[in-house]
Amino acid sequence: MAPDASWPLAPLPWQAAVWSRIQALLSAERLPHALLLAGPEGIGKAHLAQALAARMLCEQPTAGTACGNCRGCSFLQAGSHADMLIVGVAEDTRVIKIEQIRKLIEFAGKTPSLGARKVILLGPAEAMNTNSANALLKSLEEPSASTTLLLYSHQAASLPATVRSRCQTLSLGVPPEADSLAWLDAVTGSVDESRQLLQVSAGRPVRARDLFYSDDLAAHIAIHQGLAALLEGKLSALEFPQLVSSIDIAAVLDLLRGAMEAYLRRQTLAGAGSEVRAGFLFCDELARQQRAISHGANPNRQLIIEDCTAQLAQIVGAIRT
């Protein structure tokens, strides 16, 4: 288990630029009532949102971040801050339920207890079903002056346009490799292991860190090697599903999408043209499948993996020729 259970007070190293933009908005009192952090899973969006929440609820911010010592910071670390609400995926399901959004609306309408602000952290936002998203619009359309809503999303394009249009979006990408490796080295103590973890995680450092502390690392390394062989044409689409038999279907789709996106980026840098379009469309389809599963769909696991793997192999084969 990762040893960072405490509430983060500062952004991650590669988030310095976006943190400066957010601090400028705060200083000018122009931070929007709803901020959407959008980008791939595993790059630290939730961490950034938590650090911002801490900064906003801190009574004595220091050098642009929460102090960690004041009454507000103490309550936050203890998980008992009366002006902080966290809305995430319900334990018994993969969605954010409408009942949770109703509690959010009730919280937003209250007067702050400790300071001048209340903060709501919601994510991943794509976990909201249609009813939840529609209910959230009430808070987005009639915002409380004292409440800031911080959302993060791994698949922001899948959110209803009515939700996206009422948030200010900050798009975050996969960090530069050098920044990720420097941060991971402090976790693993090994340059080689950090590099392997980052490769397995499609360049996403927080995902890499989580894998380092998980029991699934060996399985993910084997899958990564299988994906590399598949992309190189050294493994057939029929052989690959056997490698992922113990992995959750949503995780398999994410691994496929991450590997494909990394492959397409390399091909684009190498000068590939219109032939990569089918690959990006395939990534969109994988994302759609992920959303459906997160909203409760229960597809035939074997069939969907075989179909997706066959499509990936076909697209890569077309690009290579």
123-146: average pLDDT = 91
| Distance of alpha carbon 308 from the chain centroid | 22
Mean pLDDT of the chain: 89
Residue scoring higher pLDDT (8 or 296): 8
* CATH fold group of domain 13-171: Rossmann fold (3.40.50)
Contact, 319 vs 272, CB < 8 A? yes
Q: In sequence order, what are the residues at sequence separation of 6 or more whose Cβ sits closer than 8 angstroms to the Cβ of residue 95?
A: 89, 127, 128, 129, 132, 294, 295, 296
Which tens digits make up the pLDDT trace of 226-267?
888 888 888 888 888 888 877 788 888 888 888 888 888 888
Q: What size, in residues, is the chain?
A: 321
51-61: average pLDDT = 96
Write down the pLDDT at residue 5.
60
Q: How confident is the model at residue 2 (pLDDT cuts 50, 70, 90)?
A: very low
Start-end of H helices in the chain: 16-27, 45-57, 71-78, 98-108, 130-141, 161-164, 177-188, 191-200, 205-212, 217-231, 249-269, 277-294, 301-320
Give the residue extent of every domain in the chain.
13-171, 215-320
Query: Which span out of 4-18, 162-176, 276-290 was modeled with the highest average pLDDT?
Result: 162-176
Q: Is the pLDDT of residue 102 over 80?
A: yes
The model carries a pTM of 0.86
Q: How confident is the model at residue 1 (pLDDT cuts 50, 70, 90)?
A: very low
The whole-angstrom separation of Cα 238 and Cα 221 is: 19
Which tens digits make up the pLDDT trace of 270-316?
777 677 888 889 988 998 888 788 777 788 888 888 898 888 888 88
Residue with tokens 């759609």: 288
Identify which of 55, 72, 74, 73 has the alpha carbon closest to the alpha carbon of residue 64: 55
